[in-house]
Amino acid sequence: MTLKINDREIGAGRTYVIAEIGNNHNGSFDRAIDMVDRAIAAGADCAKFQMRHLDEVYRKRSLGKDGEDLGTEYIVDLLHRFELGVEQHRKLFDYCRQRGVEYMCTPWDARSVAVLEDFGVRAYKVASADLTNLPLLEVLARTAKPLILSTGMSLAEEVLATVDFLDARSVAYALLHCNSTYPAPLHDINLRWMAELRKIHPLVGYSGHERGINVSLAAVALGGCIIERHFTLDRLMEGPDHAASLTETEFRAMVEGIREIELALGNGEARKLSQGEMINRENLGKSLVAARPLKAGTVLRAEDIKIRSPGQGLSPQKLPQLLGRILARDLRDEDFFYPSDLADTRVEPRNYRFGRPWGVPVRYHDFQEYAARISPNLWEFHLSYSDMDLDPSDYLRGTYAAGFVVHAPELFSGSRLMDLATPDEAYRKDSIRETQRVIDITRALRKFFPGEARPMIVANVGGFTMDEPLPAAAIQGYYERFAASLQELDLQGVELIPQTMAPFPWHFGGQRYQNIFVKAGEIVEWCRRLGLRMCFDVSHSRLTCNHLDVDFYDFASQVAPVTAHLHLGDAKDLNGEGLQVGEGDIDFDRLGAILQAGCPRASFIPEIWQGHKNGGEGFWIALERLEGKL
């Protein structure tokens, strides 16, 4: 069940956050306007106020201070001084509309409902004090507007009675757990009651009056779909609500925490491995490997198999299924077993046909194995920092007809990531030196591939941050420092092509934030400014589009004309990177048509997570599935 307020579906995943300004403006219209601005800046979805016609709310004797309790006298005195007028509320309503935040109001009487209906409000909040006020609820029900009702000061049977009343009238509503004391003692809040409240009605949130933000964050973790907190400019101001309110800084911290919790809660589906976990599983896990050289036709016994890291092969859990199988291939000592060793057939490469140059990624050490099996148009050498110290002539023999591309390491020795855009000048210079080494290696490789006139170097050029994305104002400086780095590199005879990046790259098995060469508009603008072409990594960019909620195929149409080379893999959600073609969100028929129009001569490789395993099995599957689409 969801509750719709304007275009927001409450209960559909994103917590609805209400800044209860109430009367904390203390009667100042200008302060109320300022509080709306500050609530928006703090991340509120809704700015809420209160409206009373005191003669309809209190007895005449109470308004005349005729022998009432001191508490009532105090409240009535504050309301006389701090209530805003109807026209001031109307201006607040208009201002909230102008600023794009929902104006909501708690009407304490039927006349206030009529006024607010004249404004055109889209939903009403019902105070805890009126949860049992059936005549007022009847008036509100007739508006056919959504209601949000606090349940403080009410017993379970009273909540049930009101729920029955509203259900009988087909009202759309949500209930807020609440303890109506200001501030509320922690031991009285009883957040676990939210679970019981949800049995009464499925849409449940929390209206908090406690000190701090932790309880409100816990309410989100317990499934609260709405959080309401009082909002103040100063907790020491006159009035009963200020002490139980949050300042702008506190409110912002709460909203940031809520959004982090929402991301962390996930969707409750079956557990999947994140990209970072897959990296760490590969690096830290265990595999079944050959205990000695084994020939095809061997009936596998326990003594033929041992368990070693890394976790790139068949899981040790599969040992019982492997025993007794007839091996279909030769294995060297400590070669991995793979899932295909449990199958009756193997995927093998063949001659593929594409309308553009195609290739596969290789390392020096497996080049000869691949070269004996396929004849692509190009090879893409993926260098690690240790590969940079190797002599290519130990692995490449003679000359080859195909072209080649080099993929620069993003990680250099000493746990240093390439960053040609960093504001740390010493780090930037170090990245320039390492990048120049890659350029020199690339030029040296040309003697093995004489047909490649100007080899491309794919690079993740930096611009990452550890804990949060860069503010928009800082982005240009990163591009400008990258531009300066280009001027300091000797690029004679090679072409450096930055790679389109995902917003959350994985470094050392953990997530960071990428800030440049992520968004299509920036990519196109800086390619034109700097005379660059791109490596369009479609998996990275699909993740970007999923994160930013922009159309991937529009992104592809913008980036294709500045694309020199393609990395093709599928993607899903926010971090499902490098998936097998056809196993993610990308329509490759549609993408292929866009690429044909925008970059018909751009070369490509399949970029599949661990596609090289088992003799390139993942690459062969991808090429099979891409044939006819490119």
Whether the per-residue pLDDT at 242 is higher than 70: the answer is yes
Tell how strand 495-498 and strand 534-537 pair up. Answer: unpaired
Q: Indicate whether 272 pLDDT > 90.
A: no
Q: How many Å apart are CA 294 and CA 334, to the nearest integer?
A: 10
What region does 143 belong to: left with phi over 0, alpha with psi -120 to 50, or beta?
alpha
Residue 235 pLDDT grade (very low, low, confident, very high; cuts 50, 70, 90): confident
Judge contact between 173 and 147, C-beta under 8 A: yes
Of the chain, the percentage scoring pLDDT greater than 70 comes to: 94
Per-residue pLDDT at 506: 73
- When pLDDT is averaged across residues 249-265 and rounded to a whole number, the result is 94
- 3-265 matches 275-342 in fold: no
Rounded to two decimals, the pTM is 0.70
Give the fold, CATH level 3, of 3-265.
TIM Barrel (3.20.20)
To the question of domain 275-342 being in CATH 3.90.1210.10, the answer is: yes
Q: Is the pLDDT of residue 196 over 90?
A: yes
Stretch 119-125: mean pLDDT:
95
**Are 499 and 482 spatial neighbours (Cβ–Cβ below 8 Å)?**
no
**Tokens encoding 368:** 């000869």
54 — pLDDT class (breaks 50, 70, 90)? low
pLDDT at 61: 62
What is residue 326's DSSP assignment?
A: B
Which residue from 321, 317, 293, 297 is spatially nearest to 307, judged by alpha carbons?
317
**pLDDT tens per residue across span 387-397:** 999 999 999 98
Burial of 415 (0-12, 13-18, 19+ CB in 10 A): exposed
pLDDT above 60: residue 238: yes
> pLDDT tens across 385-428, in order?
899 999 999 999 899 999 999 999 988 877 788 999 999 999 99
CA distance 154 to 404: 74
* pLDDT tens per residue, range 292-326: 999 999 999 999 999 999 998 999 999 999 999 99
**What mean pLDDT do residues 83-111 have?**
93
* Residues 154-195 pLDDT 10s: 999 999 999 999 999 999 999 999 998 888 889 999 999 999
Mean pLDDT, all residues of the chain: 91
Q: Where are the domains of the chain?
A: 3-265, 275-342, 359-626
- CB proximity list for 30: less than 8 A, separation 6 or greater: none
Confidence band for 269, pLDDT divided at 50, 70 and 90: confident
> What pLDDT is recorded for position 419?
95
- The yes-or-no verdict on residue 94 having pLDDT over 70 is yes
- Angstrom CA distances, 310 to 71, 287, 407, 414, 511, stand at 70, 7, 23, 21, 21
Q: Which CATH class is domain 359-626?
A: alpha beta
Give the mean model confidence (pLDDT) for residues 127-140.
94
Residue 80 confidence (pLDDT): 57
Question: Cα 312 vs. chain centroid, distance in angstroms?
Answer: 27
The model's confidence at residue 274, banded by pLDDT at 50, 70 and 90, is confident
Q: Strands, E, within 99-252: which ranges?
A: 102-107, 124-126, 147-150, 173-178, 204-208, 226-230
